[in-house]
Amino acid sequence: MNRKHPKSLDKAAGRVELIHGAGGRATAQLVGEIFAPHFNNEWLAAGDDGAVLPALMPNERLVLATDAHVVSPLFFPGGDIGSLAVHGTINDVAVMGARPLWLAAAFILEEGFPLACLDRIAKSMAEAAREAGISIVTGDTKVVEKGKGDGVFIATTGAGALAEGLSIGGAGARPGDAVLISGTLGDHGMAIMNARAGLEGLEAGMGFASSVVSDTASLHGLIAALLATGIPLHVLRDPTRGGLGATVNEIAHQSGVGMLLDEAAIPVLPAVSAACEFLGLDFLYLANEGKLVIICPPESSDAALAVLHAHPLGKNAARIGEVVADTRCFVEMRTRLGGRRMVDWLSGDQLPRIC
């Protein structure tokens, strides 16, 4: 029995071992030397199995959202699994109209994963949380044998407060509503594809996209700016996995409406557009991690666009379509060539492990 406290972790060359997940002293050391210094807050410092948080304001309702993050590669232009795990879950809370407050983080580490990489990921999570003004208040760490995981998976759960009277969800779209997007589509998906091609030593058209970085960002500031104006917001949603195509179909089904999008109005970076054309991909299905779909009454859309354009995350915002009455819940798009096409859910098997 080793009664001495082991020496400090070797954060430069050390690796995750199975014992780090056993719940004893090695687990305490991993948490104490990697996570605690970065996440640093009173709740984690208490060292209990859960975090006791303040009461919400009177009549505020609690919003909970959770996401498992399995993105590959772990590090990519514009972010990493750490920042993504913070942004993604903050955004799922924020699109309900709620103020994100706290995050819980559960880690599944693969035996042999470099501690230096884990430290870098924890640092990135802490920075993303700090920028967003929220705290990572509780967590858990498990370790699986080499070959039973893939470096690190992170499940984050966000809790936030929803003001009285506010009701924003996917079922709120009404025929006639305007459909807005907060910026260019496909940046995250293309950045991940490009990173994978680079790892595999491929070029295959990806040269088009080598300047593209992930848009991973927390959207709650942008959403707060929209809410502050009092504009009636019927639906907010971040078009992540499955891209805009999946998101508009989800909303159409939840609301029992159709949509008509206008291809020429949808903002796409030239590099993303060129790479999509070369690779035969559709930007409608590429993932985004810092974009927002807004559905609001048509008479409010100019005011909403003005708010979006005044915010760094909304400067390329555009009105891209309208909600129409359609009991079949079809989403269609006017193409640049003047025709119409169906915008269905994901067309086949695009990209696994995008987030």
d(C-alpha 98, C-alpha 263), whole Å: 31
Smallest distance from its own copies to CB 65, Å? 3
For its own copies, give the closer residue by CB, 9 or 56.
56
- Torsions phi, psi for 92 (to 5 deg): -65, -30
For its own copies, give the closer residue by CB, 26 or 116.
26
d(C-alpha 151, C-alpha 279), whole Å: 29
For its own copies, give the closer residue by CB, 261 or 305.
261
* Cross-strand pairs, 66: 157
Within 8 A by CB and 6+ apart from 28, the residues are none
d(C-alpha 151, C-alpha 112), whole Å: 8
For its own copies, give the closer residue by CB, 96 or 318.
96
d(C-alpha 174, C-alpha 298), whole Å: 10
DSSP letters, 76-133, are: ETTEEHHHHHHHHHHHHHHTTT-EEEEEEEEEEEETT-BHHHHHHHHHHHHHHHHHHT
**Joined tokens for residue 132:** 């967003």
For its own copies, give the closer residue by CB, 53 or 306.
53
For its own copies, give the closer residue by CB, 45 or 310.
45
d(C-alpha 193, C-alpha 188), whole Å: 9
Smallest distance from its own copies to CB 8, Å? 17
Within 8 A by CB and 6+ apart from 1, the residues are none
In angstroms and rounded to an integer, the radius of gyration of the C-alpha atoms of the chain is 22
Smallest distance from its own copies to CB 291, Å? 14
d(C-alpha 323, C-alpha 153), whole Å: 37
For its own copies, give the closer residue by CB, 185 or 305.
185
For its own copies, give the closer residue by CB, 145 or 302.
145
For its own copies, give the closer residue by CB, 189 or 205.
189
- The region that residue 136 occupies, defined by phi over 0 for left and psi between -120 and 50 for alpha, beta otherwise, is beta
d(C-alpha 173, C-alpha 257), whole Å: 7
Dihedral sign for Cα 257, 258, 263, 269, please: positive
Cβ atoms of 83 and 124 closer than 8 Å: yes
Q: Residue 349: how many CB atoms within 10 A of its CB? A: 6
DSSP annotation of 143: E
For its own copies, give the closer residue by CB, 18 or 324.
18
Smallest distance from its own copies to CB 211, Å? 26
